[in-house]
């Protein structure tokens, strides 16, 4: 499914909503790169780069990294040729200011396929999931000791199913940090969610949907509105000027 017009998806939802897991599935299905600001920042921290040093100060506390750092990072990333078909943002935007910055970017100006998809889960579930989360620092796969248990364990340490790397617990998945992340999420994300709602690009997947069915819901949302390249005539009938809402 690569003959769609430029497709930009942003995944919204509290930490632990499963954005990263869904992102990998969406990336494969629609052939658009997954841009996770959290992964980029964690990589920078592992490499101890200048960006990493700056970001670590905020991330350890569960606070947001300053917007200007995020702006630079996003602009450089979408400039790359692999992003010409579109992208999937995970963890960006995080507040109204970042959302407006995205709205004003040349990159999205002519985009007819723009989806903001919110995955909602309750707080207790967030805490439960994050305390059981394991993360592969190499290929970024995400596991959960309740729902998605890694297959191998050596000397008490779980290994990544895909690349064999030892899985780690993210520094910011400690309970105290998680509570602050939730607070930060509600303070900054709620106004941003309203912002996307007002632009009529918001879709919500409610927490009643089973985790395994979330991807199905996402594809349903996208495929109902997806606009394809003109060569794909039969699908063009779905396109309507009413859907050109983001431009």
Whether 243 is catalytic: no
Q: Among residues 6, 42, 77, 94, which one is catalytic? A: 94
Whether 183 is catalytic: no
Whether 170 is catalytic: yes
Minimum CB distance to ligand ADP, residue 181 (Å):
5
Whether 94 is catalytic: yes
* 18 vs 86, beta carbon nearer ligand ADP: 18
Site for ligand ADP in 177-216 (CB under 6 A): 181
Name the CA radius of gyration of the chain, rounded.
Answer: 18
Q: Which of 11, 22, 35 is nearest to 118 (CA)?
A: 11
Q: Would you give the binding string for ligand ADP spanning residues 150-179, x where CB under 6 A is met?
A: ----------------------x-------
- Burial of residue 225 (number of CB atoms within 10 Å: 0-12, 13-18, 19+): middle
Of the candidate residues 10, 12, 18, 37, the single one contacting ligand ADP (CB under 6 A): 37
Establish if 65 lies at the interface with ligand ADP (CB under 6 A): yes
* 59 vs 87, beta carbon nearer ligand ADP: 59
Establish if 58 lies at the interface with ligand ADP (CB under 6 A): yes
What SS3 class is residue 169? coil
What SS3 class is residue 26? helix
Specify whether the CB–CB gap between 86 and 8 falls below 8 A: yes
Residues in the chain: 247
The structure tokens listed for 233 are: 């005539």
């Amino acid at each position: 499914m690569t003959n769609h017009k430029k497709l930009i998806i942003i995944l919204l939802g509290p930490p632990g909503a499963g954005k990263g897991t869904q992102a990998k599935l969406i990336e494969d299905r629609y052939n658009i790169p997954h841009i996770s600001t959290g992964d980029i920042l964690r990589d920078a921290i592992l490499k101890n780069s200048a960006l990493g040093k700056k970001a670590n100060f905020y991330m350890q506390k569960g606070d947001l990294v300053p917007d200007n750092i995020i702006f630079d990072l996003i602009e450089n990333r979408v400039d790359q040729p692999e992003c010409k078909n579109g992208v999937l943002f995970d963890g960006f935007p995080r507040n109204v200011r970042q959302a407006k910055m995205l709205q004003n970017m040349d990159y999205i100006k002519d985009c007819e396929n723009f989806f903001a998809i919110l995955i909602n889960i309750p707080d207790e579930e967030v805490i439960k999931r994050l305390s059981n989360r394991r993360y592969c620092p190499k290929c970024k796969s995400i596991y959960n000791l309740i729902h998605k248990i890694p297959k191998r364990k050596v000397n008490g340490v779980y290994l990544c199913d895909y690349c064999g790397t030892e899985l780690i617990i993210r520094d910011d998945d400690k309970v105290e940090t998680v509570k602050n992340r939730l607070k930060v999420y509600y303070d900054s994300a709620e106004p941003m969610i309203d912002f996307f709602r007002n632009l009529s690009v918001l879709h919500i997947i409610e927490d009643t949907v089973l985790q395994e069915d979330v991807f199905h819901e996402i594809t349903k949302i996208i495929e109902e509105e997806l606009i394809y390249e003109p060569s794909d005539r039969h699908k063009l009938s779905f396109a309507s000027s009413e859907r050109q809402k983001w431009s």
